[in-house]
Amino acid sequence: MRFGVPQERDWNSLDDEYFRDIIRFEFESHYPSYLRYPPRRLLWRENADWFRRMASKGWIAPNWPAEYGGMGLSGPKLLIFLEEQERWGIARYQDHGTLMVGPLLIRFGTNEQRERFLPPILACEERWCQGYSEPDSGSDLASLKTRATRDGDCFIINGQKIWTTMAHDVDHIFVLARTDMNAKKQEGISFFLVDLASSGITVRSIRDIAGHDELCEVFLDKVRVPAAHVVGQVNQGWALAKSLLGFERVSLGSPKMPEYGLQILSRIAKACGVEDDPTFRDRFAGLQIDVRHLGDIYHHFAARIHKGEALGQDVSMLKIVATELFQKIADLIVETAGPLAGLAGDTIIGDDTINIMAPFYKARPASIYGGTNEIQRNIIAREILELPSR
């Protein structure tokens, strides 16, 4: 089966700068100017036209192999694609389908699952969210309490998920649920693909400190899910979950958010008249170097994914570096703006209009979601450095 739209050329055969010119021309020529650098996650109704255009070009999944409908970009080309998205301020897609579900099914799914789920993801007809965290099972994900009980050719799921990003604006969710209550914590967990329109599902949004409602609670009450929508083997979902966490940490470790922060910082420095101040320039240059180094680390892990290699526990390092670097940049944004940082929403500074606090609000939870940075450090200490627990 052919998936998605055939690519017009082998992108990896192009010179990097020529490839960048092609991507940049597309973004600058067609992305709506009024959607650049949004201070929050946009709803599907706000950015659907752009991403449908990307889907029609075959550009919605730049990280997927070309044979499965992606652009098949190598690590360096993928980094260029992401850099140009950030440089032009393109809003983030509801991308759990392209970043997580698709790569998981390509690697671990059945042919039937790929044929059922990959085409609508590539066409933006089905969008996904992640049903992992629970009220008492965040960083200790293996302690989850959501249950799935076999009933003929279906499973019946009962439980609750929380901090589910954009659940109110998508139509599918992938869910971890316990299918063997007598097994050890990391065992007896299965991985389900669930339609949010299923009877028994309630989604409730959560308002955050910035006044946005990107996060949600999801309640599952006797939700019937076909057994054919279990990915991998029943009771073996923890290995898949860890694989997906690797994909997620590569995504969270992308230099795109620090690059976005540098864009805002540069604009604020110019508007405040400090862009040529020696002290500011020294600090800004240091952050630019750090972002470049982050790009090198990201390229290393992206190349491993492109080769189909399994990600090790060292990928936790990427998430730590990226999120804490973004926080440093956001802090300097607030410092540079001075008293103006106390103003909410779009603020006129000189000849520019900037939402000063948007990067700060985005940066604060970044070291928490996707597994707290404290947990990531513990993983590195235990699994990579083999340090004693006490």
For the chain, list the strands marked E by DSSP.
128-131, 147-151, 154-161, 172-178, 189-195, 201-206, 215-226, 230-231, 346-349, 352-355
**Which pairs from 343-350 meet CB under 8 Å and 24+ separation?**
345/39, 346/39, 349/268, 349/271, 349/272, 350/270, 350/271, 350/272, 350/273
Q: Please say whether the beta carbons of 128 and 164 come within 8 A.
A: no
Beta-bridge mates of residue 192: 175, 230
Helix axes 44-57, 16-30, angle to 10 degrees: 140
d(C-alpha 29, C-alpha 31), whole Å: 6
- Cα distances (Å, whole numbers) of residue 387 to 152, 301, 306, 379: 47, 24, 31, 10
Pick left, alpha or beta for residue 178 (phi over 0 → left; psi -120 to 50 → alpha; otherwise beta): beta
Beta-bridge mates of residue 176: 191
Q: Please say whether the beta carbons of 94 and 128 come within 8 A.
A: yes
248 is catalytic: yes
User: Which among 126, 134, 214, 248 is annotated as catalytic?
Assistant: 248
Tell which residue, 356, 352, 347, 373, has the closest CA to residue 261.
356
Q: Please say whether the beta carbons of 88 and 27 come within 8 A.
A: yes
d(C-alpha 84, C-alpha 92), whole Å: 13
Q: Report, as residue numbers or ranges, the catalytic residues.
A: 248
